[in-house]
Structure 1
């Protein structure tokens, strides 16, 4: 059995290394915690910057929630259930809204190039 953050060898004799998906989340959470700490702490960072740092995957909302929860625990930020949800939602909406704006701009450029 491997510990989180370690690679495990394939026992079929192929000597391939496999990394678990969980390792990626742990590494990303650690990076986020370090980045927020470098910027002066969670309370001193705006929602727009938090959205950039977290970089939530809109295709994996459950994974985004787990990542956010892990980061909050590591930072020692204590929020009740509603506060935690509202905080996540604000940051998530900021990131998704920005992505939607980029998509609209790209569509507008595409359509203008087609004579529309």
Structure 2
């Protein structure tokens, strides 16, 4: 069986990877989880580019930036940003996270404008 490149990572190196959780995500939310894996793959590219061409004037920034990208990448691969995940919102009444609040009302304006 051909395995898509988005699965080309080592789950054993992830802090809180759960094969049973990933199996459930692939059954219940395959498009969402595969999109997260695609973003994680892009983060790998960004990490490699940053490491290949570091800023000699700010090595500490690059090190912190790479560490942050790796942390987000790992969370994406673990399913942490999906509903019920470590950082994901829980669906309301099974209908998803709901609409975004009205930005006009939040800024003190008239709702809906």
TM-score normalized with structure 1 length: 0.28
TM-score normalized with structure 2 length: 0.28
